[in-house]
């Protein structure tokens, strides 16, 4: 596959091996330009129409809704972070003593701390589903353990679509069916999947989906998206800002205070959601993400990493079974013979960028990567193996 047209969208020098989109995506040239244009626009505020506080945000919601296969963009809120979105969800859930909130082992902190606080408040319990110790059928066994953990005590299941360190893929459809049996809420963190892995709200119907916008959605750091289902239609937002209220677009009438919120998820939108700089950058980013399609991203990432995955396994690295992991992001447990400090130094010297999360070295790729990037990583690893 010719990726030159994709690489041309970025400013990534040929000597840089960037396998770290899961941490922070590079910006498209178009996103950078949109941000600069917006900065310049702010220098002339008299040229900014009042409609710019609202219309671009509506367009942004529509684009994100398209990515997650959602018909009603009014169920989307623009937010500054995953922690903001999860805190909003937790604020609108009441538990009973003895209820459980099911989480995965070592999931991202932003999808843990709010649940810890909530269960402590209501004398409920966190139920952490640990990853199996088995080196074979690990993903299959983990999914089975999650299903077994959901029972009559379960009030909430909060999890990622994939595990952010290992890339383990969770069977959300089967888990959703089990949550429905027990009237439990399903809250998904899509930060490491949406945009790079097919996700359908229409098909899954989660109660909420929270996503960071600066990874696989290629937006600036400090932006995110949230889908809120019917359960949250009449909840309380984290903050009371003027844009969340009904008729807030009528600027001359703002002092005629409005007791009603805008419908659906609009009540949960963050203050200053119309940020000219961020919104313009996000719009450009989502335009490109939509044109690529998550399905194509997965296919390409699988293609360019397949040879390296085999080599890494032959070298003694543990990688989740192919049928139970994502291909844009996967973790490897390194052989004990590898000195991590020496390996990190070697990666730095060769301009290879990856993440180390928990027990894993995490590799994440996209259309700007090629098979040669993985070859470079494998050669670097071989050079430090005893």
pLDDT tens readout for residues 24-63: 999 999 999 999 999 999 899 998 888 888 899 999 999 9
Tell whether 190 and 154 lie within a shared domain: yes
Residues 6+ apart with CB under 8 A from 111: 82, 86, 103, 158, 159, 160, 187, 189, 210
Last residue of a domain, one of 222, 256, 291: 291
* Residue 305 to residue 323: CA distance in whole angstroms: 14
Tell whether 184 and 213 lie within a shared domain: yes
Radius of gyration for the alpha carbons in the chain, expressed in angstroms and rounded: 22
Is residue 204 scored above 90 in pLDDT? yes
Q: Per residue in 208-230, pLDDT tens?
A: 999 999 999 999 999 999 999 99
Q: How far is CA 345 from CA 271, 374, 384, in A?
A: 43, 18, 10
Tell whether 320 and 361 lie within a shared domain: yes
Is 245 among the domain residues?
Answer: yes
Tell whether 287 and 155 lie within a shared domain: yes
For the chain, helix, strand, coil in percent to 5 are 45, 15, 40
Task: Return the pLDDT at 3.
Answer: 58
* pTM (2 d.p.): 0.94
* Residue 94 to residue 339: CA distance in whole angstroms: 47
Q: Per residue in 114-173, pLDDT tens?
A: 999 999 999 999 999 999 988 888 999 999 999 999 999 999 999 999 999 999 999 999
Is residue 92 scored above 80 in pLDDT? yes
* Residue 372 to residue 381: CA distance in whole angstroms: 14
Last residue of a domain, one of 291, 312, 336: 291
User: Looking at 4-8, 42-46, 100-104, 296-300, which range is the least confident one?
Assistant: 4-8
Is residue 75 scored above 50 in pLDDT? yes
Q: Which domain holds residue 147?
A: 45-291
Q: What is the DSSP string of 295-332?
A: HHHHHHHHHHHHHHHHHHHHTT-EE--GGGB-SSEEEE
Tell whether 206 and 57 lie within a shared domain: yes
Tell whether 203 and 162 lie within a shared domain: yes
| Per-residue tokens: 217 | 């959605």
Last residue of a domain, one of 256, 291, 326: 291
Q: Per residue in 112-123, pLDDT tens?
A: 999 999 999 999
């Amino acid at each position: 596959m010719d990726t030159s047209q994709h690489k041309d969208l970025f400013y990534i020098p040929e000597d840089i091996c960037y396998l770290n989109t899961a941490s922070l995506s590079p910006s498209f040239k178009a996103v950078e330009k949109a941000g600069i244009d917006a900065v310049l626009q702010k220098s002339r505020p008299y040229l900014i129409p009042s409609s710019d506080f609202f219309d671009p945000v509506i367009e942004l919601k529509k684009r994100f809704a398209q990515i997650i296969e959602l018909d009603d963009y009014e169920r989307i809120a623009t937010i500054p972070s995953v922690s903001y979105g999860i805190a909003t969800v937790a604020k609108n859930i009441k538990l009973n003593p003895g209820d459980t909130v099911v989480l995965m082992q070592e999931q991202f902190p932003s999808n843990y701390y709010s649940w810890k606080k909530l269960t402590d408040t209501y004398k409920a319990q966190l139920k952490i589903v640990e990853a199996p110790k088995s080196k074979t059928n690990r993903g299959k066994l983990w999914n089975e353990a999650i299903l077994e953990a959901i029972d009559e005590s379960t009030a909430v299941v909060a999890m990622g679509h994939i595990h952010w360190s290992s890339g383990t893929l969770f069977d959300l459809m089967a888990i959703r069916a089990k949550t429905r049996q027990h009237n439990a809420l399903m809250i998904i963190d899509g930060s490491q999947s949406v945009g790079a892995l097919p996700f359908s709200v229409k098909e899954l119907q989660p109660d909420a989906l929270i996503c960071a916008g600066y990874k696989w959605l290629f937006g600036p750091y400090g932006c995110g998206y949230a889908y809120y289902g019917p359960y949250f239609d009449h909840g309380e937002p984290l903050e009371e800002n003027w844009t969340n209220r009904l008729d807030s677009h009528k600027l001359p009438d703002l002092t005629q205070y409005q007791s009603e919120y805008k419908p659906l998820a609009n009540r949960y939108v963050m203050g200053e959601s119309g940020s000219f700089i961020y919104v313009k950058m996000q719009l450009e980013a989502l335009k490109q993400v939509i044109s690529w399609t998550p399905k194509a991203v997965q296919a390409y990432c699988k293609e360019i990493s397949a040879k390296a995955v085999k080599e890494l396994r032959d070298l003694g690295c543990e990688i989740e079974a192919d049928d139970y992991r994502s291909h844009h992001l996967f973790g490897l447990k390194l052989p004990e013979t590898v000195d991590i400090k020496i390996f990190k130094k070697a990666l730095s010297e060769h301009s290879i960028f990856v993440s180390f999360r928990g027990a894993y070295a995490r590799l994440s790729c996209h259309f700007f990567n090629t098979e040669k990037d993985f070859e470079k990583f494998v050669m670097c690893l071989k050079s430090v193996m005893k």
